[in-house]
Amino acid sequence: MTLDAKIWAALSGVIDPELRLPLTELDMLDRPRIDADGRVTQRVKLTVVGCPAADKIERDVRAAIASVDGVGAVDVQLDVMSPGERAELVAKLREGKPARVNQFGADTLTRVLLVGSGKGGVGKSSLTANLAVELARLGKKVGLIDADIFGFSIPAQLGLQQGSTQARPTRVDDLMLPPVAHGVKVISIGMFLEGNQPVAWRGPMLHRAIQQFLTDVYWGDLDFLLVDLPPGTGDVAISLGQQLPTAKSIVITTPQLAAAEVAERSGAVGLQTGQGIVGVIENMSWFEQPDGTRLEIFGAGGGQIVADRLTSLSGQPVAVLGQIPMSMRLRECSDSGTPVVLQHPEDPAAVAIASIAQELIRLPLGLAGRRLNVSPQS
């Protein structure tokens, strides 16, 4: 194998942090120029000026070339794609589909999960973030939409917001490349706001924002799309139910009976808009004391009550997917931007979340009666 071929093979392992595809497949690299003394000059064509991933791409390209035997000095030159090259890239990413098309329609193979709760304060967003990261840790391709427009918190919980610094999508023509945190592609309305600016929108604006998250964001080929719904039964939940025909619901509650009654309504709205229910997660189930005994601060049985009532409403068995104990580390890790499933996987809450993630991986795709985008071979 020639030195040029060896270098190109090494470069094929360099992944664009936003697109999650090899640079060599994205036409972001020229062939390397190799001098007689082994010095290698490599031109990299970034998607846009000011690309937030530029430094990482430069480091990764340099390291890949330097790892090849026979290479001397390495010179990486960063450039920017021409408008024509950028248009070709967008067309390649769309795979021939027209612009602004919802890729999670009736023929999607992505498991779409809407995570909801009857009211706020039950830990819905923390659990959604941790489930997404755990699924990614298990090797799945995961996207996460923070659809809690008025109470968005996912960027901070995944380390995409540090104080006043907020990660933002990269726009490539009419596509938005979502930031990636802990292996999860993430989009949130908070990425488009300055500081702690509130959102004061009514129905049509909410619907348009959700629609853009589904059509204008480049998600790529996902195994899972998790959606953090706002609490309650408002416009966003109904809009998403209409736009995501294969979605299924996960209901978050606490053991408290009052919370269970409200959570039941959240699941019932999903049934009304056509979603099946994957199951119920009971959060804050107990506090484990130093002597090993469990203190049930919020009572007991709320999760099972919700599951039983939704079973009755749907006519299908709805299970309690898991019970999450109260955990100071879960709260601390959410505040720090590194989820507990990564930072303290041995924590009882992290263990319970990991077990639920395994259950989600075993969900059937449910392809019966659905159209697949495949063509017969001649």
CATH number, domain with residue 52: 3.30.300.130
Q: Domain count for the chain, please give it.
A: 2
CB atoms within 10 A of CB 214: 21
Whether residues 180 and 265 fall in one domain: yes
Backbone φ and ψ for 355, nearest 5 degrees, come out as -65, -40
The pTM assigned to this predicted structure is 0.85
Whether residues 238 and 349 fall in one domain: yes
Cβ atoms of residues 233 and 222 within 8 Å: no
- Asked, for residue 348, whether it belongs to a domain, the answer is yes
- Asked, for residue 258, whether it belongs to a domain, the answer is yes
Whether residues 220 and 292 fall in one domain: yes
DSSP string for 18-45: TT-SBTTTTT-BPPPEE-TTS-EEEEEE
Please list the residues that pair with 15 across neighbouring strands.
22
SS3 62: helix
- Res 190: pLDDT: 85
Whether residues 150 and 46 fall in one domain: no
- Asked, for residue 377, whether it belongs to a domain, the answer is no
- Res 374: pLDDT: 54
- Res 232: pLDDT: 76
Residue at a domain's end among 62, 94, 126: 94
Whether residues 152 and 200 fall in one domain: yes
- Res 4: pLDDT: 95
- Asked, for residue 130, whether it belongs to a domain, the answer is yes
SS3 288: strand
Whether residues 55 and 169 fall in one domain: no
Whether residues 343 and 220 fall in one domain: yes
Burial call 345-377: b when 16+ CB within 10 Å, e when fewer? eebbbbbbbbebbeebeeeeeeeeeeeeeeeee
- Asked, for residue 371, whether it belongs to a domain, the answer is no
- Asked, for residue 102, whether it belongs to a domain, the answer is no
Percent of the chain surpassing pLDDT 70 = 94
- Res 369: pLDDT: 46
Whether residues 69 and 132 fall in one domain: no
For residues 321 and 125, give the distance between their C-alpha atoms in angstroms, rounded to a whole number: 17
For residues 329 and 344, give the distance between their C-alpha atoms in angstroms, rounded to a whole number: 8
- Asked, for residue 281, whether it belongs to a domain, the answer is yes
Backbone φ and ψ for 361, nearest 5 degrees, come out as -60, -30
**Alpha-helix runs per DSSP H in 284-327:** 302-314
Instruction: List CB contacts of 227: < 8 A, sequence separation 6 or more.
Output: 112, 113, 114, 115, 144, 145, 147, 240, 244, 247
Instruction: List CB contacts of 377: < 8 A, sequence separation 6 or more.
Output: none
Whether residues 146 and 59 fall in one domain: no
Q: What is the CATH number of the domain that holds 249?
A: 3.40.50.300
Cβ atoms of residues 188 and 176 within 8 Å: no
Segments forming the whole domain that contains residue 290: 111-361
DSSP string for 55-114: HHHHHHHHHHHHTSTT---EEEEEEE--HHHHHHHHHHHHTTPPSS--TTSTT--SEEEE
Whether residues 192 and 334 fall in one domain: yes
Whether residues 65 and 203 fall in one domain: no
Q: Which residues of the chain have pLDDT under 50?
A: 368-369, 378
Whether residues 71 and 141 fall in one domain: no
DSSP letter for 233, please.
S
- Asked, for residue 103, whether it belongs to a domain, the answer is no
Closest C-alpha to 303, from 112, 132, 122:
122
pLDDT (tens digit, 9 = 90+) per residue, 279-296?
999 999 999 888 989 999
